[in-house]
Structure 1
Amino acid sequence: MTLKLTDHFGADRRWCPPFDRAVAYEREDWWVGPSHCGDDPWYVQVLEGAAEVARVELDDLGEINPEHVGVPELDRDRLEIQRVEVAIAARGRGVGTGVVRALEERHADRRLFAYSDADSFWGSLGWDRFDPPRGERVATLFIQPVRE
């Protein structure tokens, strides 16, 4: 599978990325309004051939919640995967894994992390898991392992 990642940056929070509106996603609400992070939204459109197969929202630096158990200190080279979603028609073919691997390669000088309830997905990638404090209703933190 060959994936093409195209960055889209917005000038302000009201800007919406130029995604293909004909492609169906489970979480359409994520992609129709302005960004939820930062003053300069950063989206990535993922194409396989001419078809859009996934979307990503990145947050430059992002915020690490120090309340998660055992979280290591991450330098200013970190990059948060705020949201990632595979198009409904493209699911079950390894697109999600391909997208994350492409982001890892593309940002080899950065340490990626994500907050998510999709524990089995991030675990299958070999990312380190950090649980929230007991009783907290926040997502699990996953951090890309240190590259050797």
Structure 2
Amino acid sequence: MVQLWQTADYIAPFDPGNPGFTSHWWLEDLHRAADQPLDLFTFTVDGEEAVRASVEASTRINGDSYEGWSGHVDVTEIAFLEVSAAHRGRGHGRAAVSLLAAHYGARRLAAFSENADEFWGSIGWSRLRRLDGDGAYRSLFVNAP
């Protein structure tokens, strides 16, 4: 796991030529380098980039919207996690999440699933049900209830 730093305004630190990733997740919606709100990581396997992650180290979720939570809940949010197309199904995503959990220590991790409910559930994370039942929201998964 290597943390990447955005060193130039509006230019991502990720390799734009890597076709295995969803480019608009990693190369668009950029900020001034000094204002980058996310921690950015890359994970390699045998010298190839296999996983990317962007993490909001400290944020709050409105717990009143979810079963079992109340008030504002402080979390570290995995905003995006993507395994390159060539490395999917080999456990690299699970390994990356484990490394992120170790990096952030005792903080509760959360992820709003982007069509990846099966992945988050398969690594043992709990899905929190929205109290209003509104299915328009992405599913919220946490590593600790």
Match of 1:113 among 89, 110, 115: 110
Give the unaligned 5+ runs of structure 2. none
CA distance in 2, matches of 1:65, 1:75: 6
Question: What TM-score results when the alignment is normalised by the length of structure 1?
Answer: 0.79
Matched, 1:10 2:9: no
State the identity as a percent.
28
**Quick check: 1:115–1:140 contact (8 Å CA) kept in 2?**
yes
Letter in 2 for 1:122: W
Cα separation, partners in 2 of 1:136 and 1:75, compared to 1, 3 Å: closer
4+ aligned runs moved over 4 Å, structure 1: 72-76
CA pair 96-73 structure 1, distance change in 2 beyond 3 A: farther
Scaled by the length of structure 2, the TM-score of the pair is 0.80
Matched, 1:70 2:65: no
Which structure's residues are more often helix, by fraction?
2
1:128-139 to structure 2, matched below 5 A, reads: 128-132=126-130, 133-139=132-138
Output the aligned Cα RMSD.
2.5
Question: Equivalent of 2:27, from 23, 32, 35?
Answer: 32
Following TM superposition, by how much is the alpha carbon of 1:102 offset from its aligned partner in structure 2, in angstroms?
A: 1.2
Q: Is the 8 A contact 1:9 1:40 kept in 2?
A: no
Contact 1:24 1:89 in 2 (8 A): no
SS of the residue aligned with 1:53? strand
Please tell me the residue identity of whatever aligns with 1:43: L
Shift of 1:119: 1.5
User: 2-side partners of 1:130 and 1:35: how far apart?
Assistant: 30
Shift of the 123–10 alpha-carbon distance from structure 1 to 2, 3 Å rule, reads same
Structure 1 gaps of 5+ residues are none
Q: 8 Å contact 1:10–1:40 — kept in the other structure?
A: no
Aligned residues: 139
